[in-house]
């Protein structure tokens, strides 16, 4: 029983991570829209270069895909536990790590350009 509960805790952690990614993507996209309005209203303000919105939308989409992948992994792990052959799967964790590092680099460059 404790294996199932651990699997559920892991699934919920992935869901929290996906929600954080969606929230951050929303913030990046809205910040870009705000910068465009500010640039249009103030002549001295630097206009937005427009890639904040696509990055934000990509982050939102990535969060949704991560939630779906987490649900699939949760189901597969539950089946493995039931069969008695559960093994760790680090592929999802490594993929998310690569995604987060890549998005962090893009966001860092975006903020530097502002």
Residue 30 confidence class, pLDDT cut points 50, 70, 90: confident
Could you tell me which of 98, 33, 103, 106 has the C-alpha nearest to residue 61? 103
**Whole-structure pTM value:** 0.76
Residue 92 confidence class, pLDDT cut points 50, 70, 90: confident
Helix (H, G, I), strand (E, B) or coil at 102: helix
Inform me whether the pLDDT recorded for 35 exceeds 70: no
- What is the number of alpha carbons within 13 Å of residue 89 lying toward its C-beta? 20
Mean pLDDT score, 48-71: 87
Answer for the pair 62, 23: CB distance below 8 angstroms, yes or no.
Answer: no
- What does the angle CA 55 – CA 59 – CA 62 come to, to the nearest 5 degrees? 135
Sign for the CA dihedral angle at 114, 102, 9, 25 comes to positive
Residue 43 confidence class, pLDDT cut points 50, 70, 90: very low
What contacts 33, CB < 8 A, 6 or more positions away? 53
- Ordered alpha helix ranges (H), 42-51: none
Instruction: Give the DSSP letter of residue 43.
Output: T
């Amino acid at each position: 029983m404790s294996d199932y509960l651990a699997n559920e805790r892991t699934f919920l952690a992935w869901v929290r991570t996906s929600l954080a990614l969606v929230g951050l993507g929303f913030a990046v996209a809205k910040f870009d829209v705000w910068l465009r309005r500010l640039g249009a209203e103030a002549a001295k303000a630097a206009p937005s270069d427009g890639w904040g919105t696509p990055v934000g939308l990509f982050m939102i989409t990535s969060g949704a895909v991560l939630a779906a992948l987490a649900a699939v992994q949760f189901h597969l792990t539950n089946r493995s536990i039931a069969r008695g052959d559960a093994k760790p799967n680090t592929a999802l964790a490594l993929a998310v790590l690569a995604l987060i590092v890549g998005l962090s680099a893009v966001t860092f460059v975006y903020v530097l350009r502002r």
